Each structure stands twice: as structure tokens, then as C-alpha cells.
């Protein structure tokens, strides 16, 4: 969880290709931070890098954003 003084929100995060029931709730300061926090667990399992698209939903208001995370670097970009 982020501890930089920013307001922490609860987000539901799941892989774009997977059903929403496989989501995990994370508490972070932004949509992007939530996506990266979720992907950190995947990066350890990644063999030679790769990328994954993640859907992040704000549990307070239902807004969603999609990010592509590069598992070898942790870089995040909006889904294209």
C-alpha cells in the first residue's frame, strides 16, 4: 500500500482477458498504482518478461481504467 500522504482508495483489479470474479482488491493512491501493485505479484512469475492488460475499477464510484503493464520493467501505459 502507498504511504506517501496521498488519499488511498480501494480498487478491484483483474486481467483484461480474465473474468471479473478473478479480481483482487488493492488499496492504493491511484488507478495506475493499483495496476502496478497487482502486477508486482505477476512479475515474479513472468518468464522472460511479457505484458498484461489489467482492468482497474474504483470501488467507490465504479469508474474503470485499463492499463498494459510490462512485467519485466513495471512500466504502465493505457490500453491501446
Q: 46-71 burial string, b = 16+ CB within 10 Å, else e?
A: eeeeebbbbbbbbeeeeeebebbbbb
DSSP H helical ranges for 1-80:
31-45
Q: What is the pLDDT of residue 2?
A: 45
Predicted confidence pLDDT, tens digits, the chain (80 residues): 445 567 999 999 999 988 888 899 999 999 999 998 888 876 555 555 688 899 999 999 999 999 998 877 778 899 97
| Grid cell locating 15 | 486481467
On whether the pTM is more than 0.85, the answer is no
Amino acid at each position: 500500500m502507498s504511504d506517501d500522504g496521498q488519499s488511498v482508495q480501494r480498487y478491484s483489479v483483474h486481467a483484461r482477458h480474465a473474468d471479473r470474479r478473478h479480481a483482487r482488491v488493492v488499496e492504493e493512491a491511484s488507478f495506475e498504482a493499483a495496476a502496478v501493485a497487482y502486477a508486482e505479484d505477476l512479475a515474479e512469475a513472468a518468464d522472460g518478461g511479457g505484458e498484461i492488460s489489467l482492468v482497474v475499477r474504483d470501488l467507490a464510484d465504479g469508474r474503470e481504467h485499463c492499463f498494459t503493464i510490462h512485467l519485466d520493467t513495471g512500466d504502465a501505459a493505457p490500453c491501446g
